[in-house]
Amino acid sequence: MKNFIEIAFGSKKINIQNICNKKFGKQKSNLILSKTGPKFIKICNSNENSLTLAIKAFIKLKNKNKKINFKNLIFVTENNIRNYPGNSFLFASKCNLSEELNLFDINSGCTGFVDAIKLADKFKDNTLIVCSETYSKNISQFQRNVSTLFSDAAAVFFYDKNKFKVINEKSGYKKNTYDFITSKNKNLTMNGKKVFDFVRTVVKPQLSNHLKLNKSKSIKKIFIHQASKVIIDYFKILFKSKYIIPTNIVKRGNTVSATIPVLIFDNIKHFKNEIILCGFGVGLSYSLITLKIND
């Protein structure tokens, strides 16, 4: 069943709990981790980057499914290794892919995977979606709200037109919120309070509307971007009575555009029939789809 998806993480394991215990004491550290989620994160070592992680994931996918055949490649990342060309061109060359491929690069954060699915659905042929993020390279020194949260990871997802179909979609952004998660001069900053407010006042109502408009007995699962434990807990409290909301934030950390495919990889048993995918974050923006999966 997992023959359409693969993942790869940075090889350096960081013990967040130990760092927080030393910096803030055990009590405060436990409080922080109860909101952020991961006790460990995995980040790139000096030889790894968004391209090497993506290639690693792709090799794993090719090894288990030699039949994948696609004419489009969408590479989603906020961590292109060059200013230009985008990672898609480097990836295609390094993986020795066909020169007839249509290559696309999306500079998008936590909505990136959902945005790519929307695009892939509109193409005539199959698409390989690659999401690869290395936020650790934009964090020069420990910051409580970002260093405790983000792992580096890549996911490759083979969008087979015979298997997947987007039923409907909704997306948007909020004006003048671009400063709330941003990176200038390779320095990542995030205003967690403002991001949470965006989730409460924009994402949650949009998701509620989307669910109302898509009342189908077969929709039981919502795959939500794994922003932080407090945000996943928030959605669980609001929607758990009617929907299954898979989570892996504690185990994996927030991997930006790769979080939803990593979540799918970890919860493949729930990835069937009709599901909702909900990405939100940098922009600040959100992207929602109902996806039909044919077995």
Partner 1 sequence: MLSKQKLIKLISNSLKISEDEISFDSKINHIEEWDSLGHITIMFAIDKATKGKASKIVKLNDSNGIEAIYKLLKKNNLAE
Nearest to 153 by CA among 231, 257, 223: 257
Binding residue (CB under 8 A) for partner 1 from 19, 196, 250, 266: 196
Site for partner 1 (CB under 8 A): which residue of 11, 107, 191, 214?
Answer: 191
Classify burial at 36, counting beta carbons within 10 Å of its beta carbon; exposed 0-12, middle 13-18, buried 19 or more.
buried
CA-to-CA separations, 113 to 68, 76, 109, 169, in angstroms, rounded: 19, 7, 9, 13
- Is residue 193 at the binding interface for partner 1, with CB under 8 A as the rule? yes
Contact between 64 and partner 1 per CB under 8 A:
no
Which two tokens mark 16? 């967040």
Q: How many whole angstroms separate alpha carbon 285 and alpha carbon 175?
A: 9
| CA–CA gap between residue 282 and residue 182 (Å, rounded) | 7
Q: What is the dihedral of CA 241, 245, 249, 251, to 10 degrees?
A: 100
- Is there binding between residue 225 and partner 1 (CB under 8 A)? no
| 197 contributes a contact to partner 1 by CB under 8 A | yes
For position 35 contacting partner 1 by CB under 8 A, the verdict is yes
| Residue choice 7, 8, 14, 32 for contact with partner 1 (CB under 8 A) | 32
Which positions from 128 through 187 interact with partner 1, judged by CB under 8 A?
A: 145
Q: Which stretch binds partner 1 (CB under 8 A): 101-109, 116-124, 154-162, 234-242?
A: 234-242
Q: Tell me the window of 13-21, 45-53, 90-98, 226-234 that interacts with partner 1 (CB under 8 A).
A: 226-234
Where along the sequence are the contacts to partner 1 (CB under 8 A)? Answer: 31-32, 35, 145, 191-194, 196-197, 200-201, 204-205, 230, 233-234, 237-238
